[in-house]
Amino acid sequence: MSIDKRQRRILLGEITGVHGIRGDVLVRSFTAAPETIAAYGPLTDATGAKQFALGLIRVTNKGIVARIDGVRDRTTAETLRGTKLYIDRERLPEAAASEYYHADLIGLHAMAPDGTELGEIVAVQNFGAGDLVELKPADGSPTEFIPFENQWVPHVDIAAGTIVINRPPEGDDDVPDDDRD
């Protein structure tokens, strides 16, 4: 079995507003260093139909100020507010060892350490305390969150399309029984 090689799009930023009268836009960047969003080359909208070549002007506390090729006035820039900016997954650099793009984890077949099929990873979330893989169990029960840590996810094989999961025991919230009130 191999992972589906369909074209996947990765969200890198969003145009949140305009800046000035020359058509500059304010972009919220989701890249590790906000200013690197322009280094990826042309980005597209969600459909892939429209391309946006960003030129970085400066970084502010509200995001980056950028100029988009072909946008020369505030009125045109206003029409782009809310536009999400994507890149094809294939254009991103390879992840380092033991690092993964969330998009590469979604769709993996989850297996128990003994090889029993558990289900499929449908999302990766982070509510502030670390990444959680969202497992949709094969038996149709509600999705569950598994901490994306070596203890619970000891093996990921992107090429094979699988992920090994040690499910935390029911009710385990990392508090020893003798410390509970």
**Following DSSP, what letter does each residue of 111-147 receive, concatenated?**
E-TTS-EEEEEEEEEESSSSEEEEEEETT-PPPEEEE
Which CATH number belongs to the domain containing residue 155 in this structure?
2.30.30.240
Per-residue CA distances from 168 to 67, 79, 137, 145 (Å): 48, 47, 14, 10
Which of 91, 117, 136 is the last residue in one of the domains?
91
pLDDT tens-place values along the chain, 181 residues long: 233 344 578 889 999 999 999 999 999 998 888 999 999 999 999 888 999 999 999 999 989 999 999 999 999 999 999 999 999 888 888 888 888 888 889 999 999 999 999 999 999 998 888 899 999 999 999 999 999 999 999 999 998 999 999 987 776 555 444 444 4
The pTM of this model reads 0.68
Residue 51, in any domain of the structure: yes
Residue 146, in any domain of the structure: yes
Q: CA torsion sign, 34 to 126 to 149 to 3?
A: negative
Range of the domain at 54: 9-91
Which CATH number belongs to the domain containing residue 79 in this structure?
2.40.30.60
Residue 113, in any domain of the structure: yes
Number of domains in the chain: 2
Same domain, 39 and 77: yes
Same domain, 65 and 129: no
